[in-house]
Structures are given as structure tokens and as C-alpha cells.
Amino acid sequence: MIRVVLVDDHELVRTGFRMILAQQGGIEVVGDAADGEEGLALIRRSEPDVAIIDVHMPRLSGIELTDRVRKYKLRTRIVVLTMVSDSPFPKRLIEAGASGYLTKGCPADELIRAVRTVADGKRYLSPDIAAALALGQIDGSGESPFAALSTRELDVALMLARGETMQAIANRLNLSAKTVATYKYRLFGKLDIDNPVALASLARRHGLLDEAS
């Protein structure tokens, strides 16, 4: 039996995924969470085989959650579903330790195939993402200015864009405030901006934040 948890801040999405998975033999949904922090706690508590997570979530993004699962050496394998199919997310999520990457427009049978493939210890990428990676179109050098950021700089950028304080970011990432300030200075320089408001605007424009964030 493949044990699955769902982590998405939209209840309707979680309900839809649960209904799809419940119809499949050999797959059991053992829990769901509405944000990244709750999702991480759920994964640590229930130790599922697979976690299906969203990229855009309150408190802890999908990239941050995936990175925490890897750093804590948890056995759960991550499948990411998102509206965003272009750079920098696929490459960054793979770097963070994701085993699967799909867009939310994928058909139900592809979601099931991804869960089974990932649970079997393999990687699953949607065909369009796999093709783009194979052709070198998602290599960190695309049009998005965020592609120039390191994984940790992107973590800090997302939290700053969501309005989190420097101290809160330092606490969450287990870094000193001085180190976070250094990351902020570097990422502002790379993005050619000088304040968090401009950062949030740029992040929305390039699909890194929901419009409501």
C-alpha cells in the first residue's frame, strides 16, 4: 500500500486529489495539510511514502518544504504539482530533492502514474518538463531573473516577498540575522531591486507568488 499525504492551501484541490487517489487500488491518503509548516509536521508524524505538495503555500513554500524533507533525511518522496511549468521551479525543486514534478493541468491518470513511479524509487517529470530539461531549456539561464539566484537565495527571496521579517527568516532557516542580511544584499543586487515591495512585485510577475499573496 502506497501511503500518501496532500499539502496544498486550497481545500478544493486537496479534496479533488483525495477523490482521485481513493479510487485507486494500492494507494491510501493518510492525511492532508493546508500550508507548508503543517505539511512538514504531518510528514514527520505519519512518514508517508509520497507527499503531493503545492509550490505556492503560506508559511513554508514547496521549495522550502522539499528542502527540509531532504535535510531531515525523511523517507518520504516528494511530488510537486504547480501552475508554474517554466524556470526556475523545475530545476530548483529537483535540486531541493523533489522526485516528481507535474502541472495542475495534468490528467488524473498522470497523477496516479507519478505517485506509483515515485513510490517505486524513480523520478517522474511531466512530458513537457522532461523534454525541456533534455533540451537544456531549464538550466537556470532562462529569462526569469530569479534563475540567477542560488537555492538559498531563492528561499530568502520567497520569504521576503511574502513579508516575513529578517529575524523570522533567520529563525526558520537556522541562520544568523547577519547571514540572512548577506543573502538579501546579494539577491537584491542580482535582481536589480532595492526593497521588499519591488521584490514581491517581481516575484508575482514571474509566477513565484500567487496574485493574492
User: Which domains can be identified in the chain, with CATH numbers?
Assistant: 2-134 (3.40.50.2300), 145-205 (1.10.10.10)
pLDDT for residue 132 = 57
Give the DSSP per-residue string, 23-48. TSTTEEEEEEESSHHHHHHHHHHH--
Global pTM reads 0.71
pLDDT for residue 139 = 47
Question: Does a cis peptide bond (omega within 30 degrees of 0) precede residue 88?
Answer: yes
Q: Give the Cβ contact number of residue 132 at 10 Å.
A: 20
Going by C-beta distance under 8 Å and a sequence separation of 6 or more, which residues neighbour residue 121? 77
Task: For residues 172 and 98, give the distance between their C-alpha atoms in angstroms, rounded to a whole number.
Answer: 20
pLDDT for residue 114 = 93
**Tens digits of pLDDT across the chain (213 residues):** 999 999 998 898 899 999 999 888 899 999 999 988 899 999 999 999 999 998 877 777 788 888 889 888 999 999 988 765 554 566 677 777 889 888 877 889 999 999 999 999 998 887 766 655 554 544 444 567 887 887 778 888 888 988 889 998 888 777 899 999 999 999 999 999 999 999 989 887 776 665 555
Say how many Å lie between the first and final Cα of the chain, rounded: 37
CA–centroid distance for 47 within its chain: 18
